[in-house]
């Protein structure tokens, strides 16, 4: 299984705020940020470190640095996770992946992509709602097309259908999430879920 569900009190607290239908967009954005910090800590546990010598005021010792992390929020809901990533990861670069679902074919349609060279990067894709898996699988294809080989996805809520699709399409990719929910409904929303993440973040309900 390439899915890790975080079991941390802060993750559960913030997820509850996100799930609550009465949470305002401002409080929703704050909770998305708080929850994402907890996902980032887990996702970056195995980041490679560069070692080098530094001078403390007392003597020489070994220093460590995190290099070459690239975050890729999937537009638009992934933007709700970006601030926490920017505040936590040193010198993180950001690429963007914009995808919409074609209403007739239900297939992902790219409308924007801007990615740096990802050959030596540790890539963190931010896609809060892993529902059918179509958008995330497309985003992983995109980053692999730019050379990425070390890819982790940060999700808020996942559904069995999306996790299965990701395992079939990209078994090499890790998924770190706050929840693994029951199922998708007939409109492809996750239940119990939290509704439309983009609408709730940006107040466009
Ligand atoms: N996207 C969302 O924003 N919510 C869902 O439940 C599924 C996909």
- Is ligand 1 within 6 A of the CB of residue 131? yes
- CA nearest ligand 1 atom 5, residue: 189
Backbone φ, ψ for residue 4 (5° rounding):
-115, 120
Q: Tell me the CA distances in angstroms from 167 to 102, 137, 153, one per residue in order.
A: 23, 10, 12
Q: Is the pTM of this model over 0.75?
A: yes
Mean pLDDT score across all residues of the chain: 96
Q: For the chain, which domains are there?
A: 3-47+70-202 (3.40.50.2020)
**pLDDT beneath 70, residues of the chain:** 1, 106
Q: For residue 125, what are the contacts with CB-CB under 8 A and spacing of at least 6?
A: 71, 72, 73, 74, 78, 97, 136, 139, 140, 143, 151, 152, 153, 154
- CA nearest ligand 1 atom 2, residue: 196
Q: Tell me the CA distances in angstroms from 71 to 20, 43, 118, one per residue in order.
A: 28, 12, 10
Q: How far is the CA of 27 from the centre of ligand 1 (A)?
A: 18
Answer yes or no: are the C-beta atoms of 99 and 110 closer than 8 Å. yes
- CA nearest ligand 1 atom 3, residue: 196
Per-residue pLDDT tens digits for 73-107: 999 999 999 999 999 999 999 999 999 877 777 68
Q: How far is the CA of 146 from the centre of ligand 1 (A)?
A: 27
Q: What is the pLDDT of residue 106?
A: 67
């Amino acid at each position: 299984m390439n899915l890790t569900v975080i079991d941390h009190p802060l993750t559960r607290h913030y997820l509850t705020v996100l799930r609550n239908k009465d949470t305002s967009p401002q409080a929703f954005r704050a909770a998305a940020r708080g929850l994402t910090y907890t996902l980032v800590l887990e996702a970056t546990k195995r980041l490679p470190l560069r070692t080098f010598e530094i001078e403390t005021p007392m003597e020489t010792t070994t220093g460590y640095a995190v290099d070459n992390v690239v975050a890729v929020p999937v537009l638009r809901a992934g933007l709700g996770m970006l601030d926490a990533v920017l505040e936590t990861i040193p010198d993180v670069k950001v690429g963007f992946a914009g995808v919409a679902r074609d209403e007739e074919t239900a297939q992902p349609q790219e409308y924007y992509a801007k990615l740096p060279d990802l050959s030596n990067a540790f890539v963190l894709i931010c896609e809060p709602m892993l529902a059918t898996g179509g958008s995330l699988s497309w985003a992983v294809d995109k980053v692999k097309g730019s050379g990425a080989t070390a890819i982790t996805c940060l999700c808020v809520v996942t559904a069995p259908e999306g996790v299965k699709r990701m395992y079939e399409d990209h078994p090499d990719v890790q998924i770190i999430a706050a929840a693994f929910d029951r199922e998708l409904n007939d409109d492809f929303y996750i239940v119990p879920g939290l509704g439309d993440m983009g609408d709730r973040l940006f107040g466009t309900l």
